[in-house]
Amino acid sequence: MSNVIKNVGILLKPRNVLEFTTIIPNITEWLIRRKKTVTFLSTEHNRIQKYFKTIPKQVSFEDHSEFHKLDLIITLGGDGTLIGISRKCQKKSPPIFGINMGRLGFITEFSKVEYFDELAKTLKGNYEISKLQLYKVEVSRKNKSIFKANFINDVVINKNNISRMFSLTAESDSELIYNVSGDGLIISTPIGSTAYSLAAGGPIIHPEVNALVLTPICPHSLNHRPLVIPDNKSIDIKFPIQEDHLTLTIDGQEACDIDKGCIVTISKVKNSYAKFIKNPDRTYFHTLKEKLTHGQRENL
């Protein structure tokens, strides 16, 4: 890329992290020394104030919509922080530089102890980006839309009270995929395949594969296995038996109650991506081995 970056937004993990008391003043002053403006969310004003004796004049506070007009967004948190801002990305949203403040950090590219060199290169326009496809879910009833949201990782349908089996039907382009009875269903993207879907027995899907995976949760049949389908097809989830107390969860961060007669439709958002700054020292297979100890063999 060749775009020089001038205006930088910093997005924080919602929960306080001990290192914030030093890392936030340090990274802010580091950016200001390089003649960059720094923006935090307006809802974080009181929190940011505690990290500075006096907030520098080059620091401003804006809402989420203004963040997507900046040149770069830096996230200080884990995968959840990165996913939260990514769901709101638009066609002209800036790239995201993810700094991992947590433990796993599967899609957060940079470590909190070694990001300054790559951030310096990024500010000069010397960086590569990876694009992460956005998907959308819509809940409708009687042909009327009652809920819409984008997602990065997965959509989960399950009971929101005591754990009980229920039934649903999955269709693609009006053709029946299968009827499932069990604890629920996960519809996962490739990047989300290493999250809840993996824990429920789903496959690992490489992020460059254009697919969605349907993973039943504790199905009441040995015949209902995870299924990978092309992501250029829409998926409709219906409920042939009137069910109460069902919940739709998006990326583990946002939820919607599903009432009687609802249809859940999942599809790809055309030409819409979240853009991440790539760590040149990190590859997908290296991340699998490092974070999930996948494919490692014992010393011989």
Q: Could you read off the pLDDT of 90-104 as tens digits, one per residue?
A: 888 999 999 998 766
The list of the chain residues with pLDDT below 70 reads 1-3, 103-104, 162-163, 293-300
d(C-alpha 223, C-alpha 251), whole Å: 27
Model pLDDT, residue 203: 96
* Segment 100-138, tens digit of pLDDT: 987 667 888 898 888 999 999 999 999 999 999 999 999
Give the per-residue pLDDT at 162.
66
Answer yes or no: CATH 2.60.200.30 is held by domain 135-270: yes
Q: For this structure, is 63 an active site residue?
A: no
pLDDT value for 293: 66
Beta-bridge partner residues of 219: none
Indicate whether this model's pTM tops 0.85. yes
Highest CATH level, class, for 7-128+278-292: alpha beta
Of the residues 79, 154, 231, 251, only one is catalytic, namely: 79
Q: Please say whether the beta carbons of 23 and 112 come within 8 A.
A: yes
DSSP H helices, 95-186, are 116-123
* pLDDT at position 300: 41
Q: Residues 186, 196: contact at Cβ < 8 Å? A: yes
User: What does the pLDDT read at residue 217?
Assistant: 94
Provide the pLDDT for residue 1.
46
Q: Report the pLDDT value the prediction gives residue 298, as an integer from 0 to 100.
A: 47
pLDDT for 3: 66
Q: Which of 280, 281, 279, 288 is nearest to 109 (CA)?
A: 279
Task: Choose among 68, 55, 75, 59: nearest CA to 115.
Answer: 75
The pair of three-digit structure tokens given for residue 290, joined into one six-digit string: 């490092």
124-128 contacts: CB < 8 A, separation 24 or more? 124/4, 124/5, 125/1, 125/2, 125/3, 125/4, 125/5, 126/1, 127/1, 127/95, 127/277, 127/278, 128/1, 128/277, 128/278, 128/280
The domain limits of the chain are: 7-128+278-292, 135-270
